[in-house]
Amino acid sequence: MTHRIDSLGMQEATFALPNQIEQSMVGSIEIDGLPNSNDIDQVLVLGMGGSGIAGDIVEAIAAPRMSVPVIVSKGYDCPSFVSRRTLVMAVSFSGETEETLHAASIAHDQGARIVAVTCGGSLAEMARQWKASLHLVDSTIPMPRCAVGAISVPLLMALESIGLLSGIETDIWACVETLQNRCESIRTGQNTPREAAQKIGDDIPVIYGGGRLGVVAAVRLKNQINENAKTPAFFNAMPEICHNEIAGWGATGDASHQNISTVHLRHDFENPRLAPRFEFDEAVAASGQRKVTTIRAQGQNPLAQLFDLILSGDQMSLELADLHGQDPGPIDVLTELKHRLSE
């Protein structure tokens, strides 16, 4: 691979994802202090930014297989339904995310059972004070967004340990194998993400994903392009776009002057009715000279295919950063925002 600006080792961290997932699975087989499944009526996952994706992954992968609902909350608020029969999973890589700390404190006051996933900081200290379940994440991971496996796998493993989810350990092993294969294909020059980035070029990407898996992957890719390539990007869900957004493409006619490209994220677990909708969007794009790039997932199960889309998207965002001459690691504007909010 060509030399690129990468002061924090984001490329190395991306290739480390399979090993990160495996180590996180092994390290979270026995998280102390978890409740019994009979004592839980709902699961709430708290998190923001690079940590917030963990909740999206749990909702996409675990919720369809569980008998209790999974709700993701990103912000300061804690839902009023939270009670002693709610399992609240609070995720903050740094342990200092103020929105998550605030919501977790309210959840604790409402009697919820807490599981904290963090490198340390205030969240770890609060969990110890509350005698809550605590899983510590490897603090050598360079940035929260590089810890997607380390923060999400412990949540899935905890749900299995509690008895709310089954079969996830087998799925994780298959996921690791899929990601190892994807990393090897990128290293050996079969770099579909590089080709996708070159096709997008200087355009603003609009990312469409279908179903739970596709939408989570689209959110992740949008955020990674924002943070790694320092480029605007937007996402939406299929089939929702067929009821609104697609009309915007039809109204504008020739889209070539808008500098917008579309990315379709596809997987084998889509509802069959989504395929003709993606095909129709491709036809609309062709009539308006809008470029469409399709990334297809590999893997034996939903978890493997979701993480394959995540890794492919992460790599694409790094390729875009390289094409734009950006260092993918530091994010000066977010550092400045946090500084101003602390004043």
pLDDT for 335: 83
pLDDT at position 257: 60
Residue 342 — very low, low, confident or very high, per pLDDT cuts 50/70/90? Answer: confident
- Has domain 31-166 been given CATH number 3.40.50.10490? yes
Cβ contacts of residue 226 below 8 Å, gap of 6+? 232, 233
Distance CA 115, CA 91 (A): 8
Q: What are phi and psi of 156, to 5 degrees?
A: -65, -40
Quote the pTM value.
Answer: 0.95
Q: What is the mean pLDDT of the chain?
A: 94
Question: Which alpha helices (DSSP H) does the chain contain, by range?
Answer: 10-15, 17-27, 49-61, 98-109, 121-130, 148-162, 168-187, 192-200, 211-228, 245-252, 274-287, 302-323, 332-342
Q: What is the pLDDT of residues 120-164, one digit of tens each?
A: 999 999 999 999 999 999 999 999 999 999 999 999 999 999 999
- pLDDT over 60 at 197, yes or no: yes
| 198 close to 192: Cβ distance less than 8 angstroms | no
Query: Which architecture characterizes domain 191-323 according to CATH?
Result: 3-Layer(aba) Sandwich (3.40)
Residue 1 has pLDDT above 50, yes or no: no
State the Cα–Cα distance between residues 17 and 14, nearest whole angstrom.
Answer: 6
Mean pLDDT of 176-188: 96
pLDDT given at position 341: 85
For residue 249, is pLDDT > 90? Answer: no
Q: For residue range 20-58, what is the model confidence (pLDDT) as tens digits? A: 999 999 999 889 999 999 999 999 999 999 999 999 999
d(CA 149, CA 162): 20
C-alpha 48/C-alpha 99 separation (Å) is: 7
Q: In this predicted model, what pLDDT tens digit does every residue of 57-97 receive, in sequence order?
A: 999 999 999 999 999 999 999 999 999 999 999 999 999 99
The pLDDT, as a whole number, for residue 2 is 55
Task: Give the domain ranges of the chain.
Answer: 31-166, 191-323
pLDDT at 252 over 60: no
- Pick the closest to residue 91 from 112, 77, 74 (CA basis): 74
Mean predicted confidence (pLDDT) in 280-291: 89
pLDDT attached to residue 139? 95
Asked if 31-166 and 191-323 have one fold, the answer is yes
Average of per-residue pLDDT across 247-270: 81
CA angle 179, 299, 306 (to 5 degrees): 75
